[in-house]
Structure 1
Amino acid sequence: MSVFKVNKTFQEINEKIRNGKAVVVTAEEMIDVVKENGHLEAAQKVDVVTTGTFGIMCSSGAFLNTGHTKPRIRTSKIYLNGVEAYAGIAAVDCYIGATQTREDDPLNKVFPGRFRYGGGHVIEDLVAGREIIVKASSYGTDCYPNKGFTKKMTLNDIPDAVLLNPRNGYQNYNCGINLSKKTIYTYMGILRPECMNANFSTSGQLSPLLNDPFYRTIGVGTRIFLGGGIGYVIGPGTQHNPGVKRSENGVVMGGAGTISVRGNLKGMSPRFLRGASLTGYGCSLNVGIGIPIPILNEDMARFTSVSDDEILVPVVDYGLNYPSGEASQPLCHVSYAQLRSGEIEVDGKKVTTAPLSSYAAAREIASILKEWITSGKFLLGEPQEVLPSVPFEGFQN
């Protein structure tokens, strides 16, 4: 028998959504709801909490089927706007990775390592309706005699386009600093020497997996906001690690959970899928993700009321410790509230902070998802298998 005083099901909440009776709030709003009413009454009142995040997610890319030519071709090499995609799949299928760079980038010839254009930009160009140049070659076979083609294409010309990201939506992440004596160029941005600045990512109290820290409602089949359209969680992302140290209320104190996601690229928007260039590092893709969290019971009400001052972030040295593989022991932990204040203290030194993700975009995503659900356009997808997790021993008061 359940010990919860409130017990709801996905089916019950979806029925309320269909009837326009579901109460939906964003994760920001839920903080005040629980503060004013307590977690039990909040669980009775609220049906769904929406979350959002928008930031650089390197482990992203898209499967594209460029369509058959006359005569037919079995592509062995393919370039999209000069960026190589992986063609070792079948006939005219390929996978364009977000971090693949264009080797003939003019800036890279002047400043090696400073790419401006890559796979993430190709994906943005396609979603934005821009024309790209597709150049393919083949060794030729009896059934696929064509040995090459070059043509201009838009997303409408591509029969199938699927955003398929192996690792997105890190539950929490590092705050990066640099203790070395030289400026370094990393996926955490430019880090100046001797701890002169600190960069961080993730949307804190709006972050999807931080609002369901034990993944009770998220897994294979969860319907989500993805890149401005509708997508799905298809399983845990690579490097999913629920065993990361947690605070006494279950909040992870490091990267922990990740998700793998997919969605139809043709339903997405360049507002929430944007190519990124990181000076001295390479290229990537900014991805917008929003996950609705059903309030099935009191625990879910408490989980979704987590606030920035409760979420601790490890401060990691990217000058020496991270590249050497010795980053498992952070220098210290700080809260998202401290990071968003613009300044933290590391070893007695005040350090200026800056976000790599957009909190404003995360808030917009949570609000759009809230509108979709309240209007009945978006039903919850009940996971067929939740993400791997660890036991939860209950809240500590």
Structure 2
Amino acid sequence: MPKSIKQINEKIKKGRAVIVRADEVPELSEKYGTKKTAEKIDIITCATFGAMCSSGAILNFGHTEPPIKIQKLWLNDVEAYAGLAAVDAYLGATEESLDRGIEYGGAHVIEDLISGKKINIKAQAHGTDCYPRKLLESSFTLKDLNQATLYNPRNAYQRYNAATNSSPNTLYTYMGTLLPQLGNINYSGTGELSPLNNDPSYRTLGLGSRIFLGGAQGYI
């Protein structure tokens, strides 16, 4: 018998809802059959961990003493864009380190920040009467920030599945290295864990839907 969202919400309130991960459903279906599995389960949780561009974080560091209006900024030697406000910056996930290149970049800084590690900060400014400080070199953790907001504007695109290369040349793409003459197939996305694959008609996903992002509560 089909269950309504209202009925499922009532079971959640009473602590009786049966919740499983999306990757557990195939095994349960093989064991009990799809009909009985659907009857037993109330909620299937999903997640997205596929590689995705356009991600980044807006950070507010709080004012120093004396104040500074940051013009150039590096976090663990990864440049962040400071043209927002006096002590705000946007750190792009794909920005590369000055000294380590593609081995370390914005995404690694964000990961270190969320993990609670100390981040080195270097900031430069030309100095004004209101913001006389011209140089800042220090370190901070996530707890030291006034605000830290993670943005993933392209996660809605995580529905491409695989890529291959039929040309005679090796191609270096955002889907990885593709060998010539159909020599390999690379995939990006999370398959059965993807909310988009599980809800292609957007019956439960939409603007304002609650999600977890970077260990914190977020929104679509």
What TM-score do the two structures reach when normalised by structure 2?
0.87
Q: 1:38 to 1:92 in 2, by over 3 A?
A: same
Q: Paired residue for 1:297?
A: none
Q: Paired residue for 2:149?
A: 162
Q: 2-side partners of 1:170 and 1:176: how far apart?
A: 15
- TM superposition shift of 1:178: 2.4
Q: Paired residue for 2:78?
A: 83
Q: 1:152 to 1:171 in 2, by over 3 A?
A: closer
- TM superposition shift of 1:174: 4.2
Is 1:196 aligned to residue 212 of structure 2? no
Q: Paired residue for 2:105?
A: 118
Q: 2-side partners of 1:156 and 1:171: how far apart?
A: 31
Q: 1-side partners of 2:74 and 2:145: how far apart?
A: 15
Q: 2-side partners of 1:137 and 1:220: how far apart?
A: 38
Contact 1:27 1:49 in 2 (8 A): yes
Q: 2-side partners of 1:8 and 1:84: how far apart?
A: 49
Q: 2-side partners of 1:219 and 1:160: how far apart?
A: 25
Q: Residues 40-62 of structure 1: CA distance to partner in whole angstroms, max 9, x if unpaired?
A: x93x5432111123221222111
Q: 1:181 to 1:9 in 2, by over 3 A?
A: closer
Q: 1:45 to 1:173 in 2, by over 3 A?
A: same
Q: 1:179 to 1:7 in 2, by over 3 A?
A: closer
Q: 2-side partners of 1:174 and 1:28: how far apart?
A: 17
Query: Per the alignment, in what secondary structure is the counterpart of residue 53 of structure 1?
Result: coil
For the aligned residue pairs, the C-alpha RMSD in angstroms reads 2.4
Q: 1-side partners of 2:154 and 2:205: how far apart?
A: 15
Q: Paired residue for 1:187?
A: 174
Q: 1:66 to 1:211 in 2, by over 3 A?
A: same
Identity of aligned pairs, percent? 53
Is 1:8 aligned to residue 8 of structure 2? no
Q: 1:194 to 1:6 in 2, by over 3 A?
A: closer
| 1:27-66 aligned within 5 A | 27-31=22-26, 32-33=28-29, 36=33, 38=35, 42=38, 45-66=40-61
1:136 aligned to 110, 115, 123, which one?
123
Q: Residues 266-322 of structure 1: CA distance to partner in whole angstroms, max 9, x if unpaired?
A: xxxxxxxxxxxxxxxxxxxxxxxxxxxxxxxxxxxxxxxxxxxxxxxxxxxxxxxxx
Q: Paired residue for 2:163?
A: 176
Is 1:148 aligned to residue 148 of structure 2? no
Q: 1-side partners of 2:185 and 2:211: how far apart?
A: 31
Contact 1:171 1:208 in 2 (8 A): no
| 1:191-270 aligned within 5 A | 191-233=178-220
Q: Paired residue for 2:17?
A: 22
Query: Per the alignment, in what secondary structure is the counterpart of residue 153 of structure 2?
Result: strand
Query: Per the alignment, in what secondary structure is the counterpart of residue 96 of structure 2?
Result: coil
Paired letter, 2:63: H
Q: 1:73 to 1:116 in 2, by over 3 A?
A: same
Q: 1-side partners of 2:114 and 2:193: how far apart?
A: 26
Paired letter, 1:145: P
- TM superposition shift of 1:171: 4.2
Paired letter, 1:38: K
Q: 2-side partners of 1:216 and 1:89: how far apart?
A: 37
Contact 1:176 1:198 in 2 (8 A): yes
> Which runs of no fewer than 5 residues in structure 2 stay unpaired?
none
Q: Paired residue for 1:369?
A: none
- TM superposition shift of 1:221: 2.0
Q: Paired residue for 1:275?
A: none
Contact 1:62 1:164 in 2 (8 A): yes
Q: 1-side partners of 2:29 and 2:17: how far apart?
A: 16
